[in-house]
């Protein structure tokens, strides 16, 4: 970046901020990224890195399907550390009722141009022998992917820097408007615009946004190559992830490139401390064991938590912040931020540059919640 004020300051170098920095710097905008910790250290590090097409609403589908395509288009670019692979997803049905949902999901994906196939109970047992017997079947979505999110975020930041972006690590934002960003160090940045991409951390904003932290736990086992082949998600996940209970768990298992098994997931509202909570971890692991009893033989080597940025309607906030000229939002991605990061960057760039985007941006517009959420 040569002299003069930046065109934009991006607050947060998680996967979303990093993707935006990469995209806008490619457009020759002068970009500064300010990150309080290090790239990919927040919700990004607590995401499983499951790049998945979701069908719970047309808008969610449009964003996830578009973004999965963008991940795929970058396939050749990702460094080895990003562990980009395509194991596919198995949506596992425990009983006949859930198997009916498999058939519905299959038809829905088919009508929307997403490849999927129905696995019978027998197929499922052959594909994933570690699953408990007696499950009803599954839907396989073969093109879903898995990445290692912090490494992907770091690479996006690195690429943004090569394109001229300035990256300020360890720079905490004290306060921001749409044109002035004040850092805790006392440094004041004057800028053409500000993008809030700091997930659920919005204390520096001049307006209140409808985003709440939703805590999640993860656990990872020692290496056990071949134990598991697909990302395995119980169909009940859709109920627990998108319901609004205060606490829920679902079986969500992922084979890492190292042969480790990453185990999720839990969701909690109203908790603001990052400590691993043993009762919650216990519930989550019990749920995983119900589906895959053999996991009990694998030592868990790490457990950790993070905070997803949840919105009232489960869709992210991408676009201009109401009531604050110059401020843009790219947050509220909840549990789909890794998947939807690249599409978020495209949509935001299109809006900022006055171009047409590949998919309609209205469903994600922050103004959909009206003016009442605008002022702090």
Partner 1 sequence: MPEPVTIILNGERRPVAAGSSVAAALLTMGVAARRSVSGEERSAVCGMGICEECRVMVDGRAGVRGCLVTCRDGMEVRTNG
Q: Which CB, 122 or 299, lies closer to partner 1?
A: 299
Residues 212, 283: Cα–Cα separation, whole Å: 23
How crowded is the C-beta side of 343, counted as CA atoms within 13 Å? Answer: 29
Q: Which CB, 10 or 224, lies closer to partner 1?
A: 224
Q: Which CB, 65 or 147, lies closer to partner 1?
A: 147
**Which is it for strands 50-51 and 145-146: parallel, antiparallel or unpaired?**
antiparallel
Q: Which CB, 113 or 299, lies closer to partner 1?
A: 299
Nearest approach, Cβ of residue 186 and partner 1 (Å): 36
Query: CB within 8 A of 80, min separation 6: which ones?
Result: none
Whether residue 249 contacts residue 343, with contact meaning beta carbons closer than 8 Å, is answered with: no
Q: Which CB, 104 or 302, lies closer to partner 1?
A: 302
Question: Residue-wise over 36-68: b if at least 16 C-beta within 10 A, else e?
Answer: beebbbbbbbbbbbbbbbbbeeebbbbbbbbbb
Site for partner 1 in 265-324 (CB under 8 A): 299, 301-302
Nearest approach, Cβ of residue 222 and partner 1 (Å): 5
Q: Which CB, 73 or 222, lies closer to partner 1?
A: 222
What is the DSSP secondary-structure string of 235-303? Answer: THHHHHHHS--SEEEEEEEEE-TTS-EEEEEEEEES----SPPHHHHHHHHHHHHHH-GGGGGSPEEEE
Give the residue among 197, 155, 149 at the shortest CA–CA distance from 173. 197
Residues 140, 231: Cα–Cα separation, whole Å: 10
Whether residue 267 contacts residue 214, with contact meaning beta carbons closer than 8 Å, is answered with: yes
226 contributes a contact to partner 1 by CB under 8 A = no
**What three-state secondary structure class fits 177?**
coil
Nearest approach, Cβ of residue 301 and partner 1 (Å): 4
Q: Which CB, 279 or 299, lies closer to partner 1?
A: 299
Among 223, 244, 282, 375, binds partner 1 (CB under 8 A): 223
Whether residue 102 contacts residue 117, with contact meaning beta carbons closer than 8 Å, is answered with: no
Q: Which CB, 96 or 274, lies closer to partner 1?
A: 274
Nearest approach, Cβ of residue 257 and partner 1 (Å): 8
Q: Which CB, 4 or 299, lies closer to partner 1?
A: 299
Nearest approach, Cβ of residue 304 and partner 1 (Å): 12
222 contributes a contact to partner 1 by CB under 8 A = yes
Nearest approach, Cβ of residue 81 and partner 1 (Å): 10
Binding flags for partner 1, 46-65, as an x/- string (CB under 8 A) = --------------------
Residues 34, 37: Cα–Cα separation, whole Å: 9
370 contributes a contact to partner 1 by CB under 8 A = no
Q: Which CB, 59 or 257, lies closer to partner 1?
A: 257
The size of the interface with partner 1 (CB under 8 A), counted in residues, is 6
**Which is it for strands 188-190 and 137-141: parallel, antiparallel or unpaired?**
unpaired
Rounded CA Rg of the chain: 20
Nearest approach, Cβ of residue 282 and partner 1 (Å): 18
| Residue 2 burial class via C-beta count within 10 angstroms: exposed 0-12, middle 13-18, buried 19 and up | exposed
Nearest approach, Cβ of residue 302 and partner 1 (Å): 7
Site for partner 1 in 182-221 (CB under 8 A): none
Binding flags for partner 1, 237-276, as an x/- string (CB under 8 A) = ---------------------x------------------
Nearest approach, Cβ of residue 217 and partner 1 (Å): 17
Residues 259, 261: Cα–Cα separation, whole Å: 7
Nearest approach, Cβ of residue 223 and partner 1 (Å): 8
Binding site for partner 1 (CB under 8 A): 222-223, 258, 299, 301-302
């Amino acid at each position: 970046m040569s002299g003069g004020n930046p065109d934009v300051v991006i607050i947060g170098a998680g996967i979303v901020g990093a993707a935006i920095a990469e995209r806008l710097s490619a457009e020759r905008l002068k970009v500064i990224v300010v990150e309080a910790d290090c790239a990919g250290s927040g919700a990004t590090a607590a995401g499983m890195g499951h790049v998945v097409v979701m069908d719970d609403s047309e808008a969610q589908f449009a964003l996830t399907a578009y973004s999965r395509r963008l991940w795929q288009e970058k396939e050749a670019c990702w460094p080895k550390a990003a562990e980009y692979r395509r194991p596919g997803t198995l949506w596992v049905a425990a009983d006949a009722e859930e198997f009916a949902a498999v058939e519905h999901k299959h038809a829905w994906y088919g009508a929307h141009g997403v490849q999927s196939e129905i696995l019978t109970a027998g197929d499922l047992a052959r594909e994933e022998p570690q699953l408990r017997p007696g499950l009803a079947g599954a839907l396989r979505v073969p093109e879903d992917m898995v990445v290692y999110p912090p490494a992907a975020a770091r690479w996006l930041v690195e690429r943004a820097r090569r394109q001229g972006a300035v990256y300020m690590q360890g720079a905490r934002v004290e306060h921001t408007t749409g044109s002035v960003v004040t850092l805790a160090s006392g440094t004041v940045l004057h800028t053409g615009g500000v993008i809030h991409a700091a997930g659920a951390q919005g204390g520096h904003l001049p307006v209140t946004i409808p985003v709440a932290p939703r805590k999640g736990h993860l656990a990872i086992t020692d290496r056990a190559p071949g134990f598991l082949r697909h990302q395995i998600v119980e169909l009940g996940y859709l109920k627990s992830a998108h319901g609004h209970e205060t606490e829920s768990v679902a079986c969500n298992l992922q084979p890492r490139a190292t042969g480790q098994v990453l185990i999720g997931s839990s969701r909690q509202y109203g908790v603001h401390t990052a400590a691993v909570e043993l009762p919650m971890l216990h519930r989550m692991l019990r749920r995983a064991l119900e589906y895959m009893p053999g996991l009990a033989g694998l030592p868990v080597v790490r457990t950790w938590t993070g905070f997803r940025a949840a919105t009232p309607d489960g869709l992210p906030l991408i676009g201009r912040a109401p009531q604050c000229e110059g401020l843009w939002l790219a947050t509220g991605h909840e549990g789909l931020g890794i998947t939807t990061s690249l599409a978020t960057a495209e949509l935001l760039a299109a809006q900022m540059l006055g171009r047409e985007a590949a998919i309609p941006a209205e469903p994600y517009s922050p103004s959909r919640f009206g003016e009442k959420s605008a002022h702090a």
